[in-house]
A and B are shown apart, each in its own frame.
Chain A
């Protein structure tokens, strides 16, 4: 058990912090599930945090004047560097504290990026930071493609999804690879805390982020972030899709604490994946064969997780 967790009782719906470290008035799209998740992340962390933000939607919607939304120290860096810059921030604070140049109070350090910044271009630097064991949390807001540059595929784009660089047509059915499992890569680094979260389960999300901040050493939280613009889904249905992703087992919620898998929400009667796929333009070209494949693979992946939870 992690000693830092002992005093943390979890957030309650009634006592969610009213403070908004990420202010409203930014310019995210209507129904953006990503900014909603980020707002919850920031509520969980409060204001004693330094945010290292990779290039991506959340940086673009929150930084141009007069739509600046950050009320905490914030550094925007290039696309792949969030984990490396956060490592520098953490090391510098450690050194400056040791030398007595800054007060010894604890400040959380968060690196945040999208699925492209995390799973594609920035993966190597995340691996380095996890290996070195910096005391920081990395939050990936996964909307499953490069949304701010024109919806290009990423390693986290799900099988079959249409993007501008995986267009379906006569010879293609969209994305040909299965979604890259970034949480598993994080787990493989033997860091103390890894979790998946969804804005549809906001208390669970906030608790996981808080735990990731409390734990000593690196922590990783992978957050599913619906994107009406890139997915071709209705803005008002974002939370519904986030919920369906969990209920169909497409995006399972779990924690891995010191290597032990714990299911946050066991889905014993899963809905068929079609319920999740329909209503999203990115999947509308898929035929029965593809949907059948997705269903089977989702079941297999979920079984694997259950077995990991049993074994560990």
Chain B
């Protein structure tokens, strides 16, 4: 595999993410597939930020610890990351701020020459990088024009000067040959997937790492024809969404674990009242405020069991941008078809990392719910064969739509009669059969690596990225359930066939997937867990696996 990793580091305010974004788009334009990891502390200002852009000539979903190039905006970057540099690697740095060996350019002087703002140091760094890699100037200019919103001409001049003053290393980076594809963060893919499935409203309260769904949809409200609302807290969010869904709007809410804790009242209500609602939970390191800008997969048990009482739900965990797109669309369609709460479980690593998107948006569209045909008396909770009562919304002619959080009869009138309670609970749970047959048409458990290998890694969510590449190298199988509730038992048994050693790989401290598997009679032989707020990289996973293989 032809590949290249570049690290950019500096202080918050140095535009590290922006620089990473430009570099990612530069390499995308050359036909590479991208994975772009962004690491930043929970501070308003200062602190050390870095991004790693990894480019390869095939699909990748993870980054590596070691890099070919470092772009250092400050001394700390060199101090913290020099160990990552591979033999033959180079440091490109601001000679006014950094003392080290490598390719130093006076960014400050370059900026002064073109009257650039201090933030444009990152443009100088990109120019130098492109010069070093021997990338054609036309490509660089095009990407800068596309990715930088303001002062395009000044940025171009700065990049050009840095470009011309950097000696071509002779290791000219070739075009990988593939056409450029869209680069999306997991959160963008979630947002677009929902829109493709007919989302009308997105309601959320800001919380890292879910906030960028709100930002993305708010800034594209007109193009996407979606209304975004930011109410006073997550309780308000979830209950406003219940009101919107009751009125007939396809609605989604998004948050992280702390905010979801406040939403759980609405989860249970959606279960009892059969209101379709999609919850996106982007996990971060907890408990409580925890480590706000770092990743974790520790809310699986919480979301799986959220809300009191017993009711049907769908819980899906996408592991890459394509899955984020498809599964969110599927979640919205299923929630409406079956009138149940559906959950998308993401994490910081998926939500905020950027990758090449190779899905086909044309495959997805909104599926209409089962609606009342207007005949006879309308009963919101009519008993039917499959348990699904046709939907009508307030304002529909001749329909009085009564919805309640109490146990109720077919009309939506409160009941405490034992027979009725049994019947209604039976009606709601009966929907499982049709839900299962509907889900049966989807791919619910994915297998990667060597599908016949006797040693298998089992993982969920963003952890798949590192697992797949390690498995390919070590000749292992990878099993990744996309659906966690209702649990896809048949597909899982098929995926596990022939496995002698099962290794559970998760980013949490207790192995929550392995606990779930145990309840299904599937025992993981070993666990490889990481819970320092950082995702597995290919190298770190390989290293951890050495001890158990």
- Interface of A toward B, CB cutoff 8 Å: 27-29, 55, 57, 60-61, 64, 76, 78-80, 119-121, 123, 146-150, 152-153, 155, 164-165, 167, 169-171, 229
B residues less than 8 Å from A148 (CB atoms):
44
Q: Is the CB of A165 within 8 A of B45?
A: no
For the complex, what is the distance from the CA of A28 to the CA of B46, rounded to whole Å?
9
Q: Would A164 and B218 be within 8 Å (CB), given that A27-B45, A29-B44, A57-B44 are in contact?
A: yes
A residues less than 8 Å from B205 (CB atoms):
121
A residues less than 8 Å from B207 (CB atoms):
149
Q: Is the CB of A167 within 8 A of B232?
A: no
B residues less than 8 Å from A170 (CB atoms):
222
For the complex, what is the distance from the CA of A171 to the CA of B219, rounded to whole Å?
11
Q: Would A149 and B230 be within 8 Å (CB), given that A29-B45, A78-B289 are in contact?
A: no
Does B366 interact with chain A (Cβ within 8 Å)?
no
Q: Is the CB of A120 within 8 A of B232?
A: yes
B residues less than 8 Å from A64 (CB atoms):
41-43
For the complex, what is the distance from the CA of A61 to the CA of B47, rounded to whole Å?
11
A residues less than 8 Å from B43 (CB atoms):
27, 60-61, 64
Q: Would A165 and B46 be within 8 Å (CB), given that A78-B289, A149-B206 are in contact?
A: no
For the complex, what is the distance from the CA of A246 to the CA of B88, rounded to whole Å?
61
For the complex, what is the distance from the CA of A76 to the CA of B211, rounded to whole Å?
22
A residues less than 8 Å from B47 (CB atoms):
27
Closest A residue to B47 by CB, please name it. Answer: A27
> 19 A-B contacts, Cβ less than 8 Å apart?
A27-B43, A27-B44, A60-B43, A79-B258, A119-B232, A121-B205, A121-B232, A146-B206, A149-B207, A149-B208, A150-B211, A150-B215, A152-B214, A164-B218, A164-B219, A165-B214, A165-B215, A167-B218, A229-B44
Q: Is the CB of A78 within 8 A of B258?
A: yes
A100 to chain B: closest CB distance in Å? 34
Q: Is the CB of A171 within 8 A of B230?
A: no
Q: Is the CB of B222 within 8 A of A171?
A: yes
Q: Is the CB of A120 within 8 A of B215?
A: no
Closest B residue to A61 by CB, please name it. Answer: B44
For the complex, what is the distance from the CA of A79 to the CA of B207, rounded to whole Å?
11
Closest B residue to A123 by CB, please name it. Answer: B232
Q: Is the CB of A78 within 8 A of B288?
A: yes
For the complex, what is the distance from the CA of A262 to the CA of B206, rounded to whole Å?
37
Q: Please report the total number of B residues contacting A with Cβ < 8 Å.
A: 26
Closest A residue to B219 by CB, please name it. Answer: A167
Q: How many A-B residue pairs have CB under 8 A?
A: 67
- Interface of B toward A, CB cutoff 8 Å: 41-47, 205-208, 211, 214-215, 218-219, 222, 228, 230-234, 258, 288-289
For the complex, what is the distance from the CA of A141 to the CA of B540, rounded to whole Å?
44
Q: Is the CB of B222 within 8 A of A60?
A: no
6 A-B pairs with least C-beta separation:
A121-B233, A120-B232, A152-B206, A149-B206, A165-B230, A29-B45
Closest B residue to A76 by CB, please name it. Answer: B289
Q: Would A165 and B218 be within 8 Å (CB), given that A27-B43, A60-B42, A149-B208 are in contact?
A: yes
With beta carbons under 8 angstroms apart, the residue of A27, A55, A120, A147 that contacts B46 is A27
The winner among B206, B211, B228, B289 for most chain A CB atoms within 10 A is: B206
B residues less than 8 Å from A79 (CB atoms):
233, 258
Q: Is the CB of A120 within 8 A of B233?
A: yes
For the complex, what is the distance from the CA of A55 to the CA of B218, rounded to whole Å?
24
A residues less than 8 Å from B45 (CB atoms):
27-29, 229
- Known contacts A29-B45, A64-B41, A119-B232; 8 further A-B pairs (Cβ under 8 A): A27-B45, A60-B42, A121-B205, A121-B234, A123-B232, A149-B206, A152-B211, A152-B230
Q: Would A150 and B206 be within 8 Å (CB), given that A78-B289, A165-B215, A229-B44 are in contact?
A: yes
B residues less than 8 Å from A76 (CB atoms):
289
Q: Is the CB of B228 within 8 A of A165?
A: yes
A residues less than 8 Å from B211 (CB atoms):
149-150, 152
A4 to chain B: closest CB distance in Å? 34
Closest B residue to A149 by CB, please name it. Answer: B206
B residues less than 8 Å from A149 (CB atoms):
206-208, 211
For the complex, what is the distance from the CA of A164 to the CA of B215, rounded to whole Å?
6
For the complex, what is the distance from the CA of A167 to the CA of B222, rounded to whole Å?
12
A residues less than 8 Å from B233 (CB atoms):
79-80, 120-121
B residues less than 8 Å from A155 (CB atoms):
232
With beta carbons under 8 angstroms apart, the residue of A123, A147, A164 that contacts B44 is A147
Closest A residue to B217 by CB, please name it. Answer: A165
Q: Would A153 and B219 be within 8 Å (CB), given that A57-B44, A147-B44 are in contact?
A: no
A58 to chain B: closest CB distance in Å? 10
Closest B residue to A117 by CB, please name it. Answer: B233
Closest B residue to A180 by CB, please name it. Answer: B232
Closest B residue to A164 by CB, please name it. Answer: B215
A residues less than 8 Å from B231 (CB atoms):
120
Closest B residue to A152 by CB, please name it. Answer: B206
For the complex, what is the distance from the CA of A169 to the CA of B220, rounded to whole Å?
10
For the complex, what is the distance from the CA of A123 to the CA of B43, rounded to whole Å?
25
B262 to chain A: closest CB distance in Å? 8
A residues less than 8 Å from B230 (CB atoms):
152-153, 165
A residues less than 8 Å from B234 (CB atoms):
121
For the complex, what is the distance from the CA of A254 to the CA of B288, rounded to whole Å?
38
For the complex, what is the distance from the CA of A64 to the CA of B47, rounded to whole Å?
11
A234 to chain B: closest CB distance in Å? 14
B222 to chain A: closest CB distance in Å? 6
A residues less than 8 Å from B258 (CB atoms):
78-79
B residues less than 8 Å from A27 (CB atoms):
43-47
Closest B residue to A59 by CB, please name it. Answer: B289
Q: Is the CB of A55 within 8 A of B222?
A: no
The winner among A64, A152, A165 for most chain B CB atoms within 10 A is: A165
For the complex, what is the distance from the CA of A167 to the CA of B228, rounded to whole Å?
12
Closest B residue to A172 by CB, please name it. Answer: B221
For the complex, what is the distance from the CA of A119 to the CA of B233, rounded to whole Å?
10
B residues less than 8 Å from A169 (CB atoms):
222
B residues less than 8 Å from A57 (CB atoms):
44
B290 to chain A: closest CB distance in Å? 11
B residues less than 8 Å from A28 (CB atoms):
44-45
For the complex, what is the distance from the CA of A29 to the CA of B233, rounded to whole Å?
26
For the complex, what is the distance from the CA of A164 to the CA of B228, rounded to whole Å?
12
For the complex, what is the distance from the CA of A217 to the CA of B104, rounded to whole Å?
63
The winner among B42, B47, B215, B232 for most chain A CB atoms within 10 A is: B232
The winner among A123, A152, A229 for most chain B CB atoms within 10 A is: A152
Q: Is the CB of B289 within 8 A of A55?
A: yes
For the complex, what is the distance from the CA of A61 to the CA of B234, rounded to whole Å?
24
For the complex, what is the distance from the CA of A288 to the CA of B71, rounded to whole Å?
46
A56 to chain B: closest CB distance in Å? 10
The winner among A28, A120, A169, A171 for most chain B CB atoms within 10 A is: A120
A residues less than 8 Å from B228 (CB atoms):
165
For the complex, what is the distance from the CA of A169 to the CA of B233, rounded to whole Å?
26
For the complex, what is the distance from the CA of A187 to the CA of B80, rounded to whole Å?
53
For the complex, what is the distance from the CA of A80 to the CA of B231, rounded to whole Å?
14
B16 to chain A: closest CB distance in Å? 16
For the complex, what is the distance from the CA of A195 to the CA of B293, rounded to whole Å?
36
